[in-house]
Amino acid sequence: MIQASHPKSVDITAQQMIFKAELDKVETVWDRHAAMQPQCGFGETGLCCRVCWKGPCRIDPLGNGPKVGICGATADVIVARNLLRSFCVGASAHTEHARHIAHTLYELSQNNAPAYSIKDEAKLIDVAKRLKISTEDKEILDIAKEVAEVSMADFGKHHGEFAWLNAVLNPLRKEKLASLGILPHNLDSVVVNGLSRTHVGSESDPMNLLLAAARLAAADVSVMAMGTELSDVLFGTPMPSLTTANLSVLKKDAVNIALHGHNPLLCEIVCDVAATMQEEAKKLGAKEGINIVGVCCTGNEMMMRHGVPLAANYLSQELTMITGAVEAMVVDTQCIMPAVVETASHYHTQVISTMDDNKIFGATHVSFHPESAVEGAKQIVRLALEAYKRRNPDKVDIPNHVQQAMGGFSYEAITAVLKKLDNENPIKPLIDQIAGGNIQGVVLFGGCSNTKVVHDFNYVTMSRELIKRNVLVLATGCAAGALAKSGMQTSQATLDYAGDGLKAVLAALGDAAGTAGPLPPVLNMGSCVDNTRAVRLANDIAMTLGVDLDMLPVCVSAPELMSEKAQIIGTWAAVIGLPVHIGVVPHVTGSSLVTKFLTQDMEEVLGGKFIVELDPIEAANKLYGEIQKRRQKLGI
């Protein structure tokens, strides 16, 4: 198996801060991972059942221990039930994200959210049409109101059309899911139904639990599309722009504010407000004013729309503060380690939580609401300015390896470039290049970072291996962060790593886009909620060819995933017909039935499946093999 150059991270700025953490005697996620070894084998295999208080029960199907739980639940039932429960949590996180955005759009339409505006009217009209809302002779705020109402109705709808499902699934896939009885009818009750089925003494048919998981996944892809597309309406649809990434984006002579989490509602306004308070920072001696940087997917949101530098992805979040130069770590929701408070306590960093239903113990809480967003943002920036006065210059050490990265490749940005090649039928040039072999296929990298894998290693290794073989790479979430920090989102990466066919395509696209060189071989499509941007592009290709997604040479890879959100994203990718690689062993191996369904049987029913492969080179080989199988099926 190929080895990484460093035992914890291949991000060289992270390596530097891991070393500083040791000197500063600050514990990191890697220390806690080491302290946790060996991890529980029952949990690892999905066989620990904590559903009721007769338990916990630990099933031991291969050894001499019990073969069923106290209630009689088998290994298959326990594993399937645990999996469905995880997916419910992942889908709930996406649902709350989208609900928050839709609700803000509604408040805006009622003039109750003065900090917000419709930044992309064309996108609003496009969304309205796809939701089958007439836009003729209507004021823009009236259209916004209807779009928000139709979206919010999707959460609890019991009759009629599931509008966002129709907007994101192609008709062939809808038919397929309907024929299997797993077409969801709304968002909220699918989650509630999933949870109710896992109550003690409820469903004990593991296959039916897995079908419920597949139905939930189809609902999840719909709610993610809502979150992304309504964010574009409110904050603008991303277009390509150059920025920088890794811990070097922090500045010694600035008040550094790191925005972390997922929700663009907060970070957008903090950026706006900080721009008006630069002079206050300079008066405190911060010659470069206020420097906003991003962490995790809030970082991706800002990088995509405004070219804000990205400091860290999930696993390196603590390291931003270990630079000793972060005044405020402002967090909204999801993927925020509770440990950030302890890390901050070694420095002058103020951790500020902002959402009333996502408080962080030990953090200062500034309650953030769309109606009073500007006031909240000002309070946050003032806390950062106060913290700057407490900074200890002796503790500051910022890495100096600035890495350029190009973000902003939304669906609209990609199709805009393609339109320059064929205005009438923009998807045709892409299909021609795939059919001709210059692009062998497409792999979408998504997902997190995970201490079970050397940080960023699988992303960098796999993407280089695939690009070399003329596979175009798309990326979202912490995968996009890893590939930004490692230089894979630059023209130079195309020149250095792409195969000749892909290089020629990216050069032509770069000319069409007017970039200084070829487009990067990794197109950054945004945060982890933004995966449906890629689905829309894939649907366009499939519909033009008159086939479903299970025929396309398109795969998904989450080689360092960890979160429940990433688990369900991988699942919906398989449910819509794509092969999905994961680079960590999922907590299902205690059930041969569940393992076989996910890695084999699912393909026969849905066209997609999971491929578990821990070696990144071997994983790239397997995905390339899947691409070739699909090219053969298409006769290209």
Residue 606 near ligand MSK by CB under 6 A:
no
Task: Indicate the residue among 477 and 608 with the shorter CB distance to ligand MSK.
Answer: 477
From the list 528, 535, 573, 593, which residue makes contact with ligand MSK (rule: CB under 6 A)? 528
Among positions 290-309, residues that touch ligand MSK (CB under 6 A) are 296-297
Residue 121 C-beta: closest distance to ligand MSK, Å: 28
Residue 87 near ligand MSK by CB under 6 A:
no
Q: Are 327 and 384 in contact (CB under 8 A)?
A: yes
Gap between the Cα atoms of 621 and 636, Å rounded: 19
Part in contact with ligand MSK (CB under 6 A); list of ranges 122-130, 270-278, 531-539, 560-568: 560-568
Q: Write down how long the chain is.
A: 636
Task: Indicate the residue among 105 and 312 with the shorter CB distance to ligand MSK.
Answer: 312
According to the 3-state scheme, what is the secondary structure of 196-230?
HHCCCCCCCCHHHHHHHHHHHHHHHHHHHHHHHHH
Residue 309 C-beta: closest distance to ligand MSK, Å: 17
From the list 314, 347, 457, 572, which residue makes contact with ligand MSK (rule: CB under 6 A)? 314
Residue 564 C-beta: closest distance to ligand MSK, Å: 8
Task: Indicate the residue among 312 and 612 with the shorter CB distance to ligand MSK.
Answer: 312
Q: Please name the residue that has the structure tokens 């059919």.
A: 435
Task: Indicate the residue among 69 and 309 with the shorter CB distance to ligand MSK.
Answer: 309
Per DSSP, the three-state class of 506 is: helix
Q: Which two tokens stand for residue 377?
A: 């943002």
Q: Are 215 and 370 in contact (CB under 8 A)?
A: no
Task: Indicate the residue among 32 and 287 with the shorter CB distance to ligand MSK.
Answer: 32
Q: What one-character-per-residue DSSP string does 222-285 give?
A: HHHHHHHHHHHHHH-----EEEEESGGGS-TTSEEEEEEES-HHHHHHHHHHHHHTHHHHHHTT
The 8-class DSSP code of residue 448 comes to: -
Angstrom distances, CA of residue 193 to CA of 49, 50, 84, 88, 157 = 19, 19, 10, 9, 14
Gap between the Cα atoms of 11 and 245, Å rounded: 11
Task: Indicate the residue among 528 and 582 with the shorter CB distance to ligand MSK.
Answer: 528
Q: Please name the residue that has the structure tokens 């901050």.
A: 344
The H or E element containing residue 350 is strand 350-353
Part in contact with ligand MSK (CB under 6 A); list of ranges 202-210, 268-276, 499-507, 562-570: 562-570
From the list 565, 587, 630, 631, which residue makes contact with ligand MSK (rule: CB under 6 A)? 565
Task: Indicate the residue among 294 and 590 with the shorter CB distance to ligand MSK.
Answer: 294
CA neighbor of 586 nearest in space, from 87, 33, 35: 87
Residue 25 C-beta: closest distance to ligand MSK, Å: 27
Residue 563 near ligand MSK by CB under 6 A:
yes
Residue 533 C-beta: closest distance to ligand MSK, Å: 14
Part in contact with ligand MSK (CB under 6 A); list of ranges 343-351, 419-427, 549-557, 558-566: 558-566
* Strand pairing report for 364-365 and 403-407: unpaired
Residue 563 C-beta: closest distance to ligand MSK, Å: 4
Residue 258 C-beta: closest distance to ligand MSK, Å: 14
Q: Are 445 and 558 in contact (CB under 8 A)?
A: yes
Task: Indicate the residue among 97 and 197 with the shorter CB distance to ligand MSK.
Answer: 97
Task: Indicate the residue among 314 and 347 with the shorter CB distance to ligand MSK.
Answer: 314
Q: Which residues contact 306 (CB under 8 A, 6 or more apart)?
A: 241, 271
Q: What one-character-per-residue DSSP string does 126-143 give?
A: HHHHHTT---TT--HHHH
Residue 314 C-beta: closest distance to ligand MSK, Å: 4
Q: Which two tokens stand for residue 515?
A: 């970039």
Q: Please name the residue that has the structure tokens 């070393």.
A: 19
Among positions 416-455, residues that touch ligand MSK (CB under 6 A) are 447-448
Residue 558, φ and ψ in degrees, nearest 5: -125, 75
Q: Which two tokens stand for residue 411?
A: 């669906």
Ramachandran quadrant class, 239 (left: phi over 0; alpha: psi -120 to 50; beta: rest) = beta
Looking at 323-362, list the stretches that DSSP marks H as alpha helix, in order from N- to C-terminal side: 340-344
Task: Indicate the residue among 427 and 448 with the shorter CB distance to ligand MSK.
Answer: 448
Residue 527 near ligand MSK by CB under 6 A:
yes
Residue 477 near ligand MSK by CB under 6 A:
yes
Task: Indicate the residue among 340 and 606 with the shorter CB distance to ligand MSK.
Answer: 340
Residue 568 C-beta: closest distance to ligand MSK, Å: 10
Task: Indicate the residue among 262 and 455 with the shorter CB distance to ligand MSK.
Answer: 262
Residue 478 near ligand MSK by CB under 6 A:
yes
Gap between the Cα atoms of 292 and 307, Å rounded: 11
Size of the site for ligand MSK (CB under 6 A): 16
Task: Indicate the residue among 458 and 491 with the shorter CB distance to ligand MSK.
Answer: 458
Among positions 334-373, residues that touch ligand MSK (CB under 6 A) are 334-335
Per DSSP, the three-state class of 473 is: strand
Part in contact with ligand MSK (CB under 6 A); list of ranges 145-153, 342-350, 505-513, 563-571: 563-571
Q: Which residues lie near ligand MSK (CB under 6 A)?
A: 262, 296-297, 313-314, 334-335, 447-448, 477-478, 527-528, 563, 565-566
